[in-house]
Amino acid sequence: MAKSFYGQEASTFIAEWLNARDMSPQGKRIVQFIEKVNALWDRGQQLPGTGRGLVEKGRIVSRLQRMFWRECLRFKSDPYFGRIVVDCGRKHETRILWRPGPPPDWRKAKPGTVLSAFVWLASQGLRERLTRCQHCSRWMFAKAWGRRRRHTFCSRACRQAHYAQNEEVKQRWAEYMRERRRRLKLQG
């Protein structure tokens, strides 16, 4: 059984829906919304936490709230699907958590459902894990994310094709192969 990550179900659902409808008007609208939210959010994180930075962060937060409300009102939506989980993580604490789960058929999901799934991702701090492949631009869930390591390709084939086009990588590979052939000649 493959390892699953927190938020992977919702992100994968959104990615599959967007990949199937990337060129439709509804798909384009949600893509634009996600990209605007990510750009504003990243800008807000770069600001200092004092003085004018706080004022600007307040403006960004109110703009994000208006954007969310405007988009939520634009799309008719069913209540977001999900399941309740009882978490007994600590000794004397039991919490009831709400975890999203994908609909039976993601192709039939409404745009509002996709939007509410993205809002849930953003509320959990996982919005940047819904990203595009660097090579083919398909939407995907980034399993590894952080300062040092990022999951940036949707498949091994995309990663290899991307690096095969990179001149620096081509030169390093050619140098490696020359050295390898030279060593093989010396051995045999």
> What's the confidence (pLDDT) of residue 177?
94
Closest by CA position to 108, among listed 8, 29, 21? 21
- For the chain, the domain total comes to 2
Q: Domain of 184?
A: 155-188
> What's the confidence (pLDDT) of residue 122?
83
**Total-model pTM:** 0.69
Q: For residues 41 and 72, state if they share a domain.
A: yes
Half-sphere exposure (CA, 13 Å, Cβ side) for 171?
3
Average pLDDT over residues 82-88: 50
Q: For residues 109 and 167, state if they share a domain.
A: no
Given a contact cutoff of 8 angstroms between Cβ atoms, the answer to whether 117 and 10 are in contact is: yes
For 21-166, where are the alpha helices, taking DSSP H only? 25-46, 52-74, 111-123, 156-164
- Higher pLDDT, residue 9 or 94: 9
User: How many Å apart are CA 131 and CA 129, to the nearest integer?
Assistant: 6
Does 174 fall in a domain?
yes
Average pLDDT over residues 17-39: 85
Q: How would residue 81 be classed by pLDDT, with cut points 50, 70 and 90?
A: very low
- Higher pLDDT, residue 188 or 129: 129
User: How many Å apart are CA 102 and CA 109, to the nearest integer?
Assistant: 9
Rounded to the nearest integer, the mean pLDDT of the chain is 79
> What's the confidence (pLDDT) of residue 90?
57
Q: For residues 92 and 164, state if they share a domain.
A: no
Q: For residues 170 and 132, state if they share a domain.
A: no
Q: Which string of b and e fits 131-143 if b means at least 16 CB within 10 Å?
A: bbbebeebbbbbe
Does 2 fall in a domain?
no
Does 150 fall in a domain?
no
Does 125 fall in a domain?
yes
Does 47 fall in a domain?
yes
Does 127 fall in a domain?
yes
Q: Give the highest mean pLDDT range of 71-75, 115-119, 123-127, 170-174.
A: 170-174
Q: For residues 176 and 131, state if they share a domain.
A: no
Does 162 fall in a domain?
yes
Q: For residues 49 and 84, state if they share a domain.
A: yes
Average pLDDT over residues 125-154: 82
| pLDDT higher than threshold 60 for residue 133 | yes
Q: For residues 135 and 160, state if they share a domain.
A: no
| pLDDT higher than threshold 80 for residue 2 | no
Pairing mode of beta strands 93-99, 83-90: antiparallel
Q: For residues 159 and 112, state if they share a domain.
A: no
Q: For residues 181 and 100, state if they share a domain.
A: no
> What's the confidence (pLDDT) of residue 178?
95
DSSP 29-40: HHHHHHHHHHHH
Helix axes 52-74 and 25-46, enclosed angle (nearest 10)? 170
Number of H helices, E strands in the chain: 6, 4
* Separation of first and last alpha carbons in the chain: 45
Q: How would residue 65 be classed by pLDDT, with cut points 50, 70 and 90?
A: confident
Given a contact cutoff of 8 angstroms between Cβ atoms, the answer to whether 118 and 7 are in contact is: no
- Higher pLDDT, residue 55 or 148: 55
- Higher pLDDT, residue 135 or 73: 135
User: How many Å apart are CA 141 and CA 18, to the nearest integer?
Assistant: 12
Q: For residues 38 and 65, state if they share a domain.
A: yes
Does 49 fall in a domain?
yes
> What's the confidence (pLDDT) of residue 30?
87
